[in-house]
Chain A
Amino acid sequence: MATPLALDLAVAGIAVGSAAALSGIGLVVCYRATGVLNLAQGAVAMVTAYALRETVVVWHWPRPLAIACCLLLFAPGLGVLMDVAVFRRLQRRNAGTAETLVAGLGVFVLLVGGAALLWGLTPLGDAPVLVPATPLVAPGGLRVTLDTVVELGTVLVLAAGVGAVNRWTRFGTTLRAVVDNRRLAELAGLDADEVSSVGWAFGAFTAGLTGVLLAPGLRLDPYGLPLLVMETMAVAVAAGLRSLPLTVVVALALGVAQSELTALHPAGGNQALLQAVSANLFVLALVAAALLPGRLASAATTQTMPLPGDRPHSALVRRVLLTACAVMLLGPLALRGVDLRSLLPGPALALVLLSLVVVTGYGGQISLGQAGYAGLGALLTGALAGGAVPGVPPLPAPLALPLAVLVAAPFGLLVGWPAIRRRGLTLALTTFAVGTAMSRLVFQQPVLTSGLRLDRTGAWGNDRVFYAVELVLLGVALLLVRALHEGRIGRALGAMRDHEPAAYASGVDVPRLKLLAFTAGAAFAALGGGLLGLGAQAFDPNAFDPILGLLWFAAVVVFGAGSASGAVLAAVALTTLDAATTAGVSAAAIGVLALLRGRFTSPTATRGQPQTRPQPQSQPQPLPERPAEAAEVRLSPLGRRLASQRHGSSR
C-alpha cells in the first residue's frame, strides 16, 4: 500500500461524486432547455433502477439488452411523456412557478406511489450491477476499480458531448437560441417544444443512469433512492443551474470531501457531529446553495403566483365538504379498537396539513419542509416526557406536548427568515433543504433520539380517549385558524399571497407577517407531529421523512390549500387509504390528482390566461358619464373598403 489513505479515499469519493455529477448534468441541461427544475429527477432514477432489476432479475433478459432498453428507451421515454402529458401544457399558458412545482411534485409522488404499488416497500438488495468493481492496476499502486473509471469517464464524455453538440451542431444552435430567448426563437420558426422534449429526454436519461449506478450500493426502495438523488440537486443549484463544468467540479469536490471526512477522528462528542456532517454533506450543500444569495438569480426573479383554485369555495361546496370532514373524523369513534388504532393518525395529520394551509394556502409561501417541524414536535415531546432535556424533569405527556409546541414554534424562523427575500423555486428548495437537514442531522442521529418517551399513560392510554383529545385539539386549532383567516391578519396574509409588492404598498409589514406565518405553521405542525408520535407511542424518523413532506404538500394542494377543510379532507383521505389499502395507493392517487388538477383548473384572467372578457355593459357604470367628446373613428375610402370587406358591419 504505497499510496496514502487520503488518495485512496479521494478515489472512493469520486465514485459518489460522479453519480451526483451525472444527475446534476441532467438537471442543468433540462432546466436550460425547458426552464423547469425537474423535481421528479430522483423518482425517475428510482423507477429506472427498478425497471432494470425487473428485466434482469425477474424476466432474465440478457444484461446488455436490459441496460440498453432501460437507459435508452424507458428513461428517455418517461421524460418525453412527462413533457408531452404535463409540462408542455403548463409552459404554453405561462403557468407560474408554484403550478409547475406542484406538477413536478405530482409526477414525483405518482412515480413513488406506483413503485410502492408494483414492487412494495421492502428494500431489495439485488439491483444488478452495471459495471463490476474489478480492481485495476494504476500507476503508483493506487487502488482504482473499473466502475469508478467508467463512471468518471461517462461524466466527462457526457459533459464534453453536451458542450460539443451545443457549440458545433445545428441542433446546438437551435438549443442556444431557445435558451437565450424562447419567444424570439419561435418567431424565427424554431420549434421550441422539440427542444424541450429533447431536454426532458436527456434529463431523464441521466436520471436513469444515476439510478442504476447508485442502486447496487444501497438497498433499493421507493423512498431512499429518490431522496438521495434529490440531494444531488445541490450541485446543480450551486452551479446556478447554468454551468456544466461547475456542476461536475462541485459534484466531484463534494464526493471527495465526503469521503475524506471519514478519515478524521476528533476526540469526544465531535465524532458524532462529524459523522453526521460527512454522511450528509450533499444535504448541507443544498442548504448552503439555496441560502447563498444570487445562486439562483434567474429562477429567483420569477414572480410566484398563487396557486389557482385556492379561492374560497362556494357556500354549498363548503357545507358539503365540512359535513364530509365531520363524518370522516367522528366516524372512527364508533369503530372497533383495531380499526380505530389504524385511523389514530387522522386528526394529527390534519393538524400538520393545517400548517400548510396557513403557510401556503393563506400566506402564499411554498413550504416543502413541514415534515421537519412535525418531526421536531414529536422529538421534543418525547424528549420532554422522557427527561432527556438536561435540567428538566420528565413531564407527563399532556404537559410535554404543549411545551414542545412552544419550543418548536420559534424554529419556524429557520425558514421564515430566508423566506423574506425568497419566493417560488428558491423558497421551495430552501424549505426542502432545511426539512431534509432536520431529518438527517437530527431525527436520524441516535445521540439525539435516545431516551425519548412517547408512550401514553393514564387516560390517554385509551385509544378512544386519545382520539377524542386529538379531535378536541384539532377543533381548537380550526377555530384559531378560522379567526386568523377571517380577521385583519387573514386579509393581510391574502394580500401578501396575491401580490407582495402591492401588500407592501398597502402598509402590510410583509417581513413580520412572513415570520408570523412560518412560526404559526411550525407550531401547528409540531402539535400534529407530537400527536402522531404519541399515537404511535414511538419516535420513528421515517414517519417524518422529507419525501412524506412532499407528498403532504401535494395532498394539501390537491384538496384545496385555500381552506382548512382541504387539510382535514386530505388528512382523512391519506389515513383512510393507507389503513384500507396497500402502501403506495395514497401516494399514487395524490399524484394522479395533482396532475389532473394542472389539466383541468383554468387559471383566472389575472394570471394571463386567455379568457373572454365580461362585457363592460353588464357592469354598473362606476363613474358619472361624460358626454363622449371623443372623435369618431374616421375611415378613408380605402379603409372603409378594407374594413367592410372583411368584417361586415362591425364598424
Chain B
Amino acid sequence: MAVEIALSQARVRYGPLEALHGVDLGIPAGRRTMLLGRNGAGRSTVLHALAGTEPLSGGQVLWYGGEADARDITGLGAYRRARLGLTLVPAERAVFPSLSVADHLSWLDDAARDAALDLFPELRRLLGRSAGTLSGGEQQMVALAAALAGPSRLLLLDELGRGLAAPVVARVHGALAAAVAAGRTVVLAEQVLPSGPAAPDLVYVLHRGSVVFAGEPGELEGTGISAG
C-alpha cells in the first residue's frame, strides 16, 4: 500500500514537556486515517509535526506524496510543505480574524472558489465580512472550505466538527468521502471514533504521546483500549 507521509521515531518538545515520545506512524495514500485520543494525548501535536508547525526534537518526517521513495522533509518549513500539497486545518484559531471571507478564498482559483461556495452556500452572504466577526461554526466553515476546495493532496483536519451543526458535519464527511474517492488522503484527529459513513479506514490511538494502537476500526473493539 502506498504511503502518503510518515513519522519515524518522532519526538516533539514544548519547553520542558515532551509531547511525543518517539512516534512511528504511516498515513496510507488515498485513504481516510483517524488519530484518536483524549486531550493531551498528542493528536494535535502529530498533525503539527506532519505539517511542520512544530519542529521535531528527534526523529524524521518522511514525505512520499504518492511516490515509492521517501523524501526527508524534517527540516522543511511549514509553508514549503504546504506547497508540496499538504493542508492542516487546526482545531483553534483556524482563520485570519482581520481577513474577509473572500480574502480567505482568494488564494483559490475560480473553479475551486465556486466549489467551496457550493459546499458551503452559507458563506455566500458572508463574503465581505471579516472572519473575526463570524461565529465559531462559520469560521470553521471558512477554514474547511478553503482547505477542501484547495489543490492539496493531503488534508489534516483537527476536530473538524467543532462548532458545526450535525447536518453540516455530515455534509463535510460526504465531501471528504468524495475527496478520498478522487485519490486524496485525509487525516482526522478526533476524541471519539465515529460510526457509519464517517468511519475511517485506519485508526491510530494515541495515549500520553505514544501510539498504543494501530489498525482497522473493527479491531479496536475488545482490545480494552478506549479513546474517549
A contact residues vs B (CB 8 Å cutoff): 170, 173, 176-177, 179-181, 183-193, 605-608, 610-613, 631, 633-639, 641-643, 645-647, 650-651
Contact = CB atoms under 8 A, between A and B. Distances in A.
Contact of B225 (A170, A608, A631, A638): A631
Nearest to A173: B103
Interface string B117-136: 00000000000000000000
A337 B31 CA distance: 84
B129 to A, nearest CB: 15
Interface stretch (B38-46, B52-60, B183-191): B52-60
A642 B1 contact: yes
Contacts of A173: 99, 103, 106
Interface in B189-228: 202, 211-216, 219, 223-225
B99 A192 contact: no
16 contacts: A176-B98, A177-B96, A180-B96, A184-B93, A185-B79, A186-B52, A605-B57, A613-B11, A638-B202, A642-B1, A642-B3, A645-B1, A646-B3, A647-B6, A647-B24, A650-B24
A187 B215 contact: no
Contact of B57 (A179, A610, A637, A638): A610
Given A606-B16, A636-B216, A187 B78 contact: yes
Nearest to B146: A188
B109 interface: no
Nearest to A636: B215
Interface residues of chain B: helix, strand, loop or mixed (majority): mixed
Contacts of B56: 610
Contact of A646 (B8, B51, B94, B223): B8
Interface in B1-46: 1, 3, 6, 8-9, 11, 13-16, 18, 24-26, 28
Contacts of A606: 15-16
B10 to A, nearest CB: 11
B66 interface: no
A645 B26 contact: yes
A629 to B, nearest CB: 12
Contacts of B213: 633-635, 639
B46 to A, nearest CB: 15
B86 to A, nearest CB: 9
Contacts of A639: 202, 213-215
B79 A646 contact: no
Nearest to A94: B55
Interface in B130-169: 146
B223 A634 contact: yes
B99 A176 contact: yes
B8 A647 contact: yes
Contacts of B215: 634-639
Contacts, number: 135
A180 B98 contact: yes
A29 to B, nearest CB: 15
A611 to B, nearest CB: 6
Contacts of A647: 6, 8-9, 24
A631 B224 CA distance: 9
Contacts of B174: none
Interface string B91-114: 001111111000100110000000
Contacts of B13: 605, 608, 610-611, 613
Given A180-B96, A187-B82, A610-B13, 12 more contacts: A181-B96, A186-B79, A189-B83, A189-B107, A193-B77, A610-B57, A612-B58, A631-B223, A633-B213, A635-B215, A643-B214, A647-B8
Contacts of B219: 634, 636
Nearest to B131: A180
A70 B1 CA distance: 60
A187 B28 contact: no
Nearest to A650: B24
Going nearest first, the 6 A-B pairs with the smallest beta carbon separation are: A636-B215, A639-B214, A189-B82, A186-B78, A180-B96, A639-B215
B214 A635 contact: yes
A627 B143 CA distance: 47
Contacts of A633: 211-214
A650 B9 contact: yes
Contacts of B14: 608
B61 interface: no
Contacts of B9: 647, 650
Contacts of A185: 79, 96
B53 A187 contact: yes
Nearest to A183: B53
Contact of A192 (B79, B88, B146, B216): B79
Interface string B53-92: 1011110001000000000000001110011000110100
Contacts of B93: 181, 184
Contacts of A631: 212, 223-225
B214 A188 contact: no
A607 B16 CA distance: 8
Nearest to B53: A183
B96 A186 contact: no
Contacts of B25: 642
A643 B79 contact: no
A615 to B, nearest CB: 11
Contact of A188 (B58, B62, B98, B107): B107
A170 B24 contact: no
Contacts of A650: 8-9, 24
A220 B58 CA distance: 53
B66 to A, nearest CB: 15
A605 B16 contact: yes
Contacts of B211: 633
Contacts of B96: 176-177, 180-181, 184-185
Nearest to A605: B13
Nearest to B214: A639
B79 A642 contact: no
B15 A180 contact: no
Contacts of A610: 13, 55-58
Contacts of A651: 24
A418 B82 CA distance: 44
A170 B102 CA distance: 12
A607 to B, nearest CB: 7
Nearest to A637: B215
A613 B58 contact: yes
Contacts of B97: 180-181
